[in-house]
Structure 1
């Protein structure tokens, strides 16, 4: 067996870090909190919307129903993505997380956004009026919903803050990184829900003061547009991850610099990365060795380097090192007429 083959075989050992399991447990609790809040709120909004004949409140009910369905998707993703690797999926099922997040985005778009816009348009067409009793019911339901959504959002923000502290960066940077699609979806849903409730309250209050249902209809359409935008943003992020997203450029640069510093490595001719899950990244490096090392020394060095890479960057749990002759590669490229 050659040194390269032995290194590649060692790189496929299924010894993943366990840090992601703990994060998944916290994310699962966050999703359950959001699901419980949305189930209660959706029933209250639906009943209140029917009794008060409020399009804004019915739009918010659709929003909460969509969120509840999406939380079920996210719980499924948390469970399915942790299945162990097998013969058909040698790198595990981490990408299930991205697939279910895409379904959640579609759910927000169809069930929440499109229904809210439709409800607003129907209100413009049909007109309508509410009694003072209806206004009071709508406002009470929305205030309770705002409190519940706010509590769920606070839980999600607390998890983001803990993750940001663990990574040594700001909360804004952690949100932009968005490694955990389940947490990102819950955070987006709860933030949008609070904004939607405020829009619905504004619409009902203006309707009550002016007697014009157009304000509630506008609020309903604005809620729908907001949901469609959030769905598009989440769907785009899921698509990027599903088609094969590279690791953070800063991490790639650090890994390349680390490899070049090793005395056994003369140069790194290629470095490719792909995210396999929220806490799993594959690294494939094509390296040229420094002359003078025998096969046994090369094997020991490559195993050591691989372990150090995984020790420094815990998410890099699949490391492949391909030993090549850079000079021969350049000569072959020149012979073929390539620069």
Structure 2
């Protein structure tokens, strides 16, 4: 199933912005010798590569089902989101920490504060625009939920990954500004290295948060409670169904949900009635929600369902 157009818009905005910012930062770092600016350049370069990986993940996830992958390839996006988190940690945070420690041990003053300030200002402008695009898309997706709850419940990692990266980038720019200014004002060039270390810590924390959320999605998360209630309400009204014992749902992608229902049919219904009911329920659910890609219905008594469910929970 096709990925959200909004997700691609967010990633494209971040990709273009980060590529321009990375080039500018590296030029400034080579000119001025600033460790914090070099760390920021590496950060932006990593973010550029991450945007490309997310686009690749969206492309791979949109492929249709085949014999080898009968439920489609939706989890490709979750896999590449996890790879992005690893890159932020290993490359972004690792190199920033190394560069910061090396500069703190063997400090050398930056040669041009003006150039650093110009680059930081331009970077904040570009990064702020990308952040606004990501925030707007995230707000539209989260509805009335709080930000933390929305991240925990989100099934589309592409949007919150870019939002987290851009937030970390803006914090990194602020730290780089403070570190460069403090190093010049106090004539302590090692403070530039300290700023680089702090940038690395921010990247490491961002990577851990991204990895945690991506891992949960990759393993398999259930549909949101309101989605499950909508499914249950659609089935409860069927004339052949005595009760819905329970359901199991799992996201294979942001817009791909597999539903398994345990149903107790009315005792006087024939096999033909049950077959018609199953087909009717599948059709109704697919019409109500385009993100339901597969529906499995199992005739089962409530006692059997409780027994099996207890074993699943344990």
Fold-level similarity (TM above 0.5): yes
Matches within 5 A, 1:289-328: 289-326=265-302
- Distance (whole Å) between structure 2 residues aligned to residue 178 and residue 300 of structure 1: 35
CA contact (8 A) 1:282 1:316 kept: yes
- Distance (whole Å) between structure 1 residues aligned to residue 146 and residue 291 of structure 2: 20
1:136 maps onto 2:111 in alignment: no
Q: Which residue of 2 aligns with 1:157?
A: 135
CA contact (8 A) 2:54 2:80 kept: yes
Q: Which residue of 2 aligns with 1:12?
A: none
> What is the CA distance between 1:66 and its match in structure 2?
0.6
Of 252-261 and 49-58, the range deviating more from structure 2:
252-261
What TM-score do you get using the length of structure 1 for normalisation? 0.84
1:190 maps onto 2:166 in alignment: yes
Q: Deviations over 1:180-220 (max 9, x none)?
A: 11112111111111111111011111112111123222211
Aligned with 1:228 (options 187, 204, 213): 204
Q: Which residue of 1 aligns with 2:82?
A: 102
Residues 171, 155 of structure 1: alpha-carbon distance in 2 compared, 3 angstrom cutoff: farther
Aligned with 2:95 (options 109, 112, 115): 115
Q: Deviations over 1:111-161 (max 9, x none)?
A: 111111111111111021233xx1111111111101000011111122223
CA contact (8 A) 1:246 1:274 kept: yes
Of 207-216 and 76-85, the range deviating more from structure 2:
207-216
1:169 maps onto 2:149 in alignment: no
Of structures 1 and 2, the larger Rg is shown by 1
- Distance (whole Å) between structure 1 residues aligned to residue 152 and residue 125 of structure 2: 26
> What is the CA distance between 1:50 and its match in structure 2?
1.7
SS in 2 for 1:43: helix
Aligned with 1:219 (options 171, 192, 195): 195
Q: Deviations over 1:250-276 (max 9, x none)?
A: 433453455344332223334211111
Q: Which residue of 1 aligns with 2:311?
A: none
- Distance (whole Å) between structure 2 residues aligned to residue 66 and residue 193 of structure 1: 11
- Distance (whole Å) between structure 2 residues aligned to residue 206 and residue 250 of structure 1: 51
Matches within 5 A, 1:245-260: 245-256=221-232, 258-260=234-236
CA contact (8 A) 1:83 1:92 kept: yes
Aligned with 2:241 (options 256, 259, 265): 265
SS in 2 for 1:318: strand
Higher relative contact order (CA 8 A, sep 6+): 1
Aligned with 1:147 (options 110, 117, 125): 125
1:243 maps onto 2:219 in alignment: yes
CA contact (8 A) 1:56 1:219 kept: yes
- Distance (whole Å) between structure 1 residues aligned to residue 76 and residue 61 of structure 2: 5
> What is the CA distance between 1:51 and its match in structure 2?
1.4
SS in 2 for 1:155: helix
Of 89-98 and 238-247, the range deviating more from structure 2:
238-247
Q: Which residue of 1 aligns with 2:312?
A: none
- Distance (whole Å) between structure 2 residues aligned to residue 274 and residue 115 of structure 1: 37
Of 317-326 and 224-233, the range deviating more from structure 2:
317-326
Of 207-216 and 299-308, the range deviating more from structure 2:
299-308
CA contact (8 A) 1:160 1:175 kept: no
Q: Deviations over 1:59-78 (max 9, x none)?
A: 10110011011011011011
> What is the CA distance between 1:87 and its match in structure 2?
0.4
- Distance (whole Å) between structure 1 residues aligned to residue 83 and residue 281 of structure 2: 39
Residues paired across the two proteins, number: 306
Q: Which residue of 2 aligns with 1:8?
A: none
